[in-house]
A and B are shown apart, each in its own frame.
Chain A
Amino acid sequence: MEISTQIGILLNSSVLSIQLFFLTLLFSLPLGLVIAIGRMSKYKIISIPVKIYQVIMRGTPLLLQLIFVYYIMNSILKDYGIIIQRFPAAVIAFVLNYAAYFSEIYRGGIESMPQGQYEAAKTLGYTRSQTFVRIIFPQVIKRILPPMCNEFMTLVKDTSLAQVIAVSEIFYNANSIASTTYTFTPIFIAGVIYLLMNFIVQRCFDFAEKKLNYYR
């Protein structure tokens, strides 16, 4: 098989990887914030289940979670006539997993905010939700950019795990070409594509950090 053909196939399949990447972020970033707030709740009935959720999601392999959502959930839901397709199953597993990681990053950021910001906002008459939205959260974003960048880059690479439930992403195709052509070239090409994607991620974060550098 021509190398250019291989590159073409892999670039085509990278669309699916990129979709998985963005869909995961779209849902897990807000969900992570909700989980972080639940985790910080003073009501144990909320904070303890959330903690258990985090332990399970962060304590078991994403690979296993993918298999769980696709095979086990499907075998359970089959009786109700519900079938989760491969790609949505991957998105669900990624969202649940990454939301757990993001939630801890948010929590770290929120808890690092000085008490004085809350107190100043309170004495100025801001409500609790205004204080969070207008004063606290914008500053949290700046603080969590470095760990978030890490997490985003890991996510780019983790999309390759979706091959375990036969989602036709980059690595799934690289593997199948490699096994039919008996060469490693597709694996290298896949590596270059991941590297390229992460280069873009890194640049975006550099840009965001620079943008928020106007205050300390």
Chain B
Amino acid sequence: MSILDVKNIKKSFDQLAVLKDISFSVNEGEVVAIIGPSGSGKSTLLRCITQLERADEGEITLCGLEMCKSVNSKSVYSSHEVLHKIQLSCGLVFQNFHLFPHYSVLKNVMDAQIHVLKQSKPKAKQIALDFLDKMGLSDKADAYPCQLSGGQQQRVSIARALALNPKILFFDEPTSALDPELTGEILKVIKELAKENMTMVIVTHEMSFARDVADKVIFMDDGYIVEEGDPREVINNPKSERTKQFLKRFSGEE
């Protein structure tokens, strides 16, 4: 069953058309990797789906709730209440973590549960500690973000997103701000989540990771989806010339 449907999304910044006509869907439990050259619009696409930007045209449906629909080739957004509900059903993990520096690790993971979901404090704490434990960070609960390594910070931010029990989790280059040796620990966490059938959409430059973990790979270029399909097919035997060119740059790395 599809949990995310994106239809004919277009988005421009002033004169610059960034998303030109994007359609795809994600099924429940599926892991989708989005790859593509810098500036192709991958982040903008995630930001439209997670409501950090508004699409100009097209339709987005998440968990059966309509975020926006096209009327006279313009996106019309749903009411504030519906948008908030959709917001709660999806989580986003940023490239630069964006933890709240003035809160301890525990509070980073607890605070939204208490003030957004209106969860009771003991329950929120229990959930937070469980997720921190799962991320291998039980001993860091009382630390502050500035005392953690990049990889640890990113795991906190994943715990923070998971604590709100999202139906779908988006990652925008979750390892790009990390040293190569820290990248592995984040990829491992994402693999774990994939095993538990968490629905995820991951923008990444880690080709071998995309191939191993994703159920589907989407290759984006210049505001379009150029190719999509089985990761081994797309990455090992790309059909389009653009995809081949793009992947050639990565082939040396493996």
A-to-B contact residues, CB < 8 Å? 114, 116-117, 119-126, 130, 134-135, 138-139, 142, 214-216
Chain B residues with CB under 8 Å of A116's CB are: 94, 96, 98
The tally of CB-CB contacts under 8 A between chains A and B is 59
Residues of B within 8 A of A119 (CB): 52, 94, 98
How distant is the Cα of A114 from the Cα of B96 in the complex, in angstroms? 11
Determine if A124 and B52 form an interchain contact, defined as CB atoms under 8 angstroms apart. no
Report yes or no: B88 in contact with A125, Cβ–Cβ below 8 A.
yes
B91 in contact (CB, < 8 A): yes
B115 within 8 A of A: yes
Please report the C-alpha to C-alpha distance between residue A58 and residue B115 in the assembled complex, in whole angstroms.
39
The main secondary structure of chain A at its interface with chain B is: helix
Q: Is the CB of A126 within 8 A of B98?
A: no
B204 at the interface (CB under 8 A from A): no
Is the pair A215, B146 in contact by a Cβ cutoff of 8 Å? yes
Confirm or deny: B51 has a beta carbon within 8 angstroms of a beta carbon on chain A: yes
Whether B52 contacts A123 by the Cβ 8 Å rule is yes
Size class of B's contact patch? 20 to 34
Q: Which residues of B contact A139 (CB under 8 A)?
A: 101-102
Given contacts A124-B116, A125-B112, A216-B146, contact A117 B164 (CB under 8 A): no
With both beta carbons as reference points, the residue of chain B lying nearest to A135 in the complex is identified as B100
Top 10 nearest A-B pairs (CB, nearest first) are A120-B98, A116-B98, A125-B116, A124-B112, A123-B92, A216-B146, A215-B101, A215-B144, A125-B88, A138-B102
Contacts of B96 in A (CB 8 A): 116
Q: Name the residue on B nearest A117 (C-beta).
A: B98
Quick one: CB contact mask for B93-123 with A, threshold 8 Å, 1 for yes?
A: 0101011111000000001100111000000
- Check B94–A124 contact: CB distance below 8 A: no
Which chain B positions have C-beta within 8 A of A114?
A: 98
How far does the alpha carbon of A126 sit from the alpha carbon of B98 in the complex, in Å? 14
Interface contact B87-A125, CB-CB below 8 Å:
yes
| Cross-chain contact A124 with B164 (CB below 8 angstroms) | yes
Q: Does B150 contact A (CB under 8 A)?
A: no
Given contacts A214-B144, A215-B144, A215-B145, contact A125 B164 (CB under 8 A): yes
Chain A residue at smallest Cβ distance from B112: A124
Q: Please list the residues of chain B having a beta carbon within 8 angstroms of any beta carbon in chain A.
A: 50-52, 84, 87-88, 90-92, 94, 96, 98-102, 111-112, 115-117, 144-146, 157, 160-161, 164
A135 to chain B, nearest CB (A): 6
Complex interface: chain A residues within 8 A of B87 (CB): 122-123, 125
- A125 to B146 Cα, complex, angstroms: 24
Report the minimum CB–CB distance from A121 to chain B (whole Å).
8
Q: A123-B91, A125-B112 are in contact. List 7 more A-B contacts (CB 8 A).
A: A116-B98, A119-B98, A123-B161, A126-B116, A134-B111, A134-B115, A215-B146
Whether the Cβ atoms of A142 and B98 lie closer than 8 Å is no
Chain A residues positioned under 8 Å from B144 (CB to CB)? 214-215
Interface centre among A117, A121, A123, A134 (most CB of B within 10 A): A123
Can you name 11 A-B residue pairings with CB atoms under 8 Å? A116-B98, A119-B52, A119-B98, A121-B100, A122-B87, A125-B87, A125-B88, A126-B115, A134-B111, A142-B102, A214-B144
Residue of B nearest to A142 (CB): B102
Is the pair A123, B116 in contact by a Cβ cutoff of 8 Å?
A: no
Could you say which residues of chain A place their CB within 8 Å of the CB of B91?
A: 123-124
Which residue of A117, A124, A135, A216 contacts B160 across the interface (Cβ within 8 Å)?
A124
Q: Which residues of A contact B94 (CB under 8 A)?
A: 116, 119-120
Give the distance to chain A from B52, nearest Cβ to Cβ, in Å. 5
With A125-B87, A125-B88, A215-B145: A120-B100 Cβ-Cβ less than 8 Å = yes
